[in-house]
Amino acid sequence: MSSADSDNQQLQNRFRVAGRLARTNLGEHQRYIASEKIAQKITQSSWFQRAAFVACYLSTPDEVDTWSIIERAWRMKKRVFAPVLEKNDVMQFCELTADTDILVNQYGIAEPLDGETVAPRMLDIVITPVVAYDNAGHRVGMGGGYFDRTFSFLRGRKHFFHPKLIGVAFACQEVEEITPNPWDIPLFATVNDTNHDTNQDIS
């Protein structure tokens, strides 16, 4: 690894620590209010309303609460899939219903215990976790690289993003600029709890 790459990794690690601390410091009530605003913006967007297959991560307590998005998707008669980490360091997506049994994996992430799976290319929208983000569609995640590996087929795309990777984050997690790694997959958009969302038009 070059010194420039090493410096960038250190910077991303600082963004990661700062982003996690910022969202934790919001407090439970503020996170709830912000999460509801984010869910409303997402589910009212044209690209969400057109989507048939929606993937959504299952949030931890200090993240944007994705269950509101999931429940609204069910009411809109969409099929919802949640990521499951595989041993080959990629993800599969299992269908999530109101009756699905949930387990917590070794990383503390909730996953469906079982369910019909779908290939990543078949998804329309993927609600993606974010620890830090900038206004150019770059994100810092938890560092495992699962989303980047799973959706590597989107690398280099300029048009026809399918699926659309939609980051969700609180405004306090935004940073000025993230220098992406060569393997990073940019987000189609990041939706936050303000009137300013990043990258693509979310209408």
What pLDDT shows up at residue 38? Answer: 97
What pLDDT shows up at residue 202? Answer: 52
What pLDDT shows up at residue 156? Answer: 77
In angstroms, how far is the first alpha carbon of the chain from the final one?
41
Burial annotation 64-88 (CB, 10 A radius, 16+ → b, else e): bbbebbbebbeeeebbbbbbbbeee
Q: What is the CATH number of the domain that holds 90?
A: 3.40.50.10420
What pLDDT shows up at residue 131? Answer: 96
- Residue range(s) defining the domain that contains residue 177: 3-199
Closest CA to 197 of 160, 170, 176: 170
Number of domains in the chain: 1
What pLDDT shows up at residue 140? Answer: 93
pLDDT along the chain (203 residues), means of 10: 71 92 94 97 96 97 96 98 88 96 91 94 96 92 88 82 94 92 90 76 51
What pLDDT shows up at residue 198? Answer: 66
What pLDDT shows up at residue 144? Answer: 84
Q: Which residue has the tokens 């407090």?
A: 27
What pLDDT shows up at residue 88? Answer: 77
What pLDDT shows up at residue 157? Answer: 74
What pLDDT shows up at residue 172? Answer: 96
Let me know: does 125 contact 47? Beta carbons within 8 Å. yes
pTM over 0.85: yes
143/73 Cα distance (integer angstroms): 28
